[in-house]
Amino acid sequence: MTEERTSPPQLRLSGGVFTFSVLRLESLDPGQLEVQLKTPEPVKQFLHNAPIVLDFLHLPDQQLPLRPWMDILRAAGCFPVGIRNASPAQAEAAAAMGLPHLRGRELEPALQETPAEPSACSPAHTTGTGVSTEPGQILRHPMRSGQRHYARNRDLICLAAVNAGAEVLADGHLHVYAPLRGRAMAGVMGQEHSRIFCASLEAELIAIAGIYAMPDPGHPLWGKPAEIALEGEQLRIMPLGT
């Protein structure tokens, strides 16, 4: 009888902010991606169940079949959730497959103007998101296998060990004043000036702005204090404090 009974429940929409990994496609040949995805175990673990956005920036503006890309990514255990930097035709093809064209935040120009040695100034200047006067976040307890911690919009300072199988992420710098044995990612939103500092480098994986490396026990700085920076497309590992 009453209106409440017949009207359907209201839609409940709310906003949310999520972090996706962006995969830059470098060639029109899906086979190349397939080879690249045959990565060592820590990267595989990182990619497992990860939502992935495909970046078309480096691809020519031509139509391309999307299905093979999707199949390769699914086989690697990740979920393609969208594309970016696509041409209108590419975007249309993606939409037909249920992949939206995303307009995620690009690096802000202000960011790229940050001085070449941002670690010398306060972290507030280097997180570069406009909300960044917050001091870094401090973790006092060890990060243990299976645990994950993400410091959004700021630095992360770990006072105890980050153990194998644990994962620490920060939009800014990452400081680990103890052995770093797990996976460490700085500049998660693409901040290329972010750095990783650790008291003992024993990491399974290190990454800055999505560029990763797996230091191996043969590295001269293995087990030693190290600083890691992104230079061009490569991570540079250097002794800490020299």
Partner 1 sequence: MAKIVVVTSGKGGVGKTTTSAAFASGLAIRGFRTAVIDFDVGLRNLDLVMGCERRVVYDFINVIQGEAKLQQALIRDRMLEKLFILPTSQTRDKEALTAEGVARVMDELHGEFDYVVCDSPAGIETGALRALYHADEAIVVTNPEVSSVRDSDRILGILAAKSRRAEEGKEPVREHLLLTRYAPRRVQGGEMLSLEDVKELLRIPLLGVIPESETILQASNQGIPAIHMKGSEVAAAYEDVVARFLGEEKPLRFTQPEKPSFLKRLFGG
Amino acid identity of residue 41, one-letter, is: E
Among 78, 94, 166, 196, binds partner 1 (CB under 8 A): 166
> By CB under 8 A, is residue 225 in contact with partner 1?
no
Q: Return d(Cα 209, Cα 21) in angstroms, integer.
A: 10
> By CB under 8 A, is residue 239 in contact with partner 1?
no
Cβ at position 137, least distance to partner 1 in Å: 17
Mention every residue, 6+ apart, whose C-beta is less than 8 A from residue 34. 72
**How many of the other CB atoms lie within 10 Å of CB of 232?**
8
Q: Return d(Cα 228, Cα 220) in angstroms, integer.
A: 14
> By CB under 8 A, is residue 160 in contact with partner 1?
yes
> By CB under 8 A, is residue 149 in contact with partner 1?
no
Interface with partner 1 in residues 6-35 (CB under 8 A): none
**How many of the other CB atoms lie within 10 Å of CB of 122?**
13
Among 164, 211, 221, 240, binds partner 1 (CB under 8 A): 164
Q: Which stretch binds partner 1 (CB under 8 A): 11-19, 46-54, 61-69, 161-169?
A: 161-169
Among 68, 104, 165, 225, binds partner 1 (CB under 8 A): 165
Binding residues vs partner 1 (CB under 8 A)? 141-147, 160-161, 163-166
